Amino acid sequence: MALPPFAPLDVSSYKWHQTSQPGTWERRACGIENLDGLELPNKKGHNDFHITVTSHFHDQSLTLDKLTRSIKHVWRRIRFYHPQIACAPLWREGQLFLTYRDPENDDEVTRWVDRTVNIELSGKRALEVQRGLEEKRRAAGSSIQSSDPASIYIIPSASMAADKTSSTDVTFLFHLNHIFLDGSGAYTLIGLVLQDLASELCSPTERPTSFKWENSVQYLPPPFIEIISPDQHLSGPSFESALQTALADTMASQSSWGLKPTGVVNGVARNEFLVISTIETDRVKSAARKAGLNITHLAHAAVFLVGLEANPPTEGSQRSNIASYFALDDRQYINEKLSQHRRQYLPNCHGHGNIKLDNIQEYTLGPRATPGDIRRKLIAVATKIKDGYDSCARRPCRVSAGLAFMEMLAGMLAANPNPPDTPMTTPLLIGDGVYDRWIPPEIANPSTKAPVISNTDVRLYANNYQTFPSFHTWSFRSRCTLSVQFDDGFYTTTDMRNYLQNLANMLLLFADGKGSDNSML
């Protein structure tokens, strides 16, 4: 199936512009913003995600009141310099627009801060708070509205919630709407908040900073298409070829091998985690480097091998290949002359790449598979995945064509929202990278260098209501975390925990380089 000639992308049609309403600006959604901004799924929170940061404050006299006041001052400043977090979605004639309105005065901003910064004194853990937020969304039914781009929940320990005189150990839960921020944008935002919070605690301001809020519009980030690298053409043969490739990859994924769901209707989005120790993480990384790979290549391969063991392809099956996509942070394709955007670009601009494995029967691990068999097949699949990653990186106009394709795909899904007769069940993996790049493990007093905040753990909770599970891997403080996001209407928690454990076992067996001949699965 070939695409009809696609009109060149017109940058001007995506730019921010003032509307007929005083102080109101809008722009057309760009690329992945459209897919994550399908109206009904977005209002239901299907693409929302949460990030928790567990933090220790070194000032033993810090009170919860002071912490709350300080973070509200910080959030107010972030609101001025990063107004992306105060935008709103607008759907008009099937098209998504991002809108922004200048606050009229400080009081309006104060109300916004009070609405988007919350203190959770119930004694619940972060996971319970996150689940409670989703339960409220489901209970709202047809009256549900889209989430704010970003909001914060301050969760002190149970003892601190009861006694607000001390607040040295806190979990911050950030609730994000995927239209406005992707993972990298969210981690960047959180890093900015925590670093500014440390500075605020060291030199507190008595009153919140007052801004000329009508000037905040100058800090609205441009749409990704406006700052994309000039080698990402918006029309022409390379652009058209990349579009055809994107279509072919998507069509191939419709007939890919996949898992067998245990249910057939949507349930509740769930998240499970498994943390690999620092020593074990180092071993896996070292073994991967020796094989010319990295831990993401290995984890991606292990996701497929464990899945194939759970649901091996049958003889003569038409689904004898794997065609899957993976997410890419496309900020590296921002015009190198616009370095300020490369450092702190918050909007959702992640792209997609695709990988394909043929003849998957040869990678199936039988009950008699030895550690040597597992390592050989893991390296074989991981190498093909690495080649797929590298091929996507070299493909001309992959990023610019991806913007057009994702917008077109979103239009098709909006016009035909019913699920396909044969749903996709191929598990996917997203490598989130090293969180320390964005969220400093240790934050010191800017003047004295004395420690102020120690961030001890970071976790991503993503809402996944698809018919396939989504695996993530990331590193923080030199520890690798594996997670799985799934809909418990399609997969059981027990099965997904076992899947995650088998995935970790496979990585550790690979790092071990030796072992018995007993099957690990």
The 3-state DSSP class for residue 357 equals: strand
**Cα dist from 106 to 73, 102, 103, 113, 230, whole Å:** 12, 11, 8, 10, 40
Going by C-alpha positions, the residue among 375, 373, 381, 363 that lies closest to residue 511 is 375
Give CA angle at 359 (328, 469), nearest 5°: 45
Going by C-alpha positions, the residue among 407, 433, 426 that lies closest to residue 468 is 426
Return the pLDDT at 123.
Answer: 84
Return the pLDDT at 166.
Answer: 63
Q: How far apart are CA 98 and CA 165, in angstroms?
A: 42
Contact residues for 457 (Cβ-Cβ < 8 A; gap 6+): 52, 53, 54, 476, 477
Average pLDDT per block of 10 residues along the chain, 521 residues long: 70 97 96 96 93 95 91 97 98 96 95 97 90 86 87 86 70 98 97 97 85 95 96 95 93 92 92 97 96 96 96 79 92 88 91 92 90 95 96 95 95 86 90 96 95 97 95 97 97 97 96 52 37
Note whether 77 and 111 are within 8 A (CB). Answer: no
Note whether 476 and 251 are within 8 A (CB). Answer: no
Q: Which fold has domain 14-224?
A: Chloramphenicol Acetyltransferase (3.30.559)
Helix (H) or strand (E) holding 130: helix 126-140
In sequence order, which ranges of 311-428 are alpha helices (DSSP H)?
339-344, 371-394, 398-415
Q: Which residues of 429-442 are buried (b: 16+ CB within 10 A; e: fewer)?
A: bbbbbebbebbbee
Q: How far apart are CA 468 and CA 373, in angstroms?
A: 27
Q: Is the dihedral of CA 137, 130, 463, 14 positive or negative?
A: positive
Contact residues for 442 (Cβ-Cβ < 8 A; gap 6+): 451, 453, 454, 455
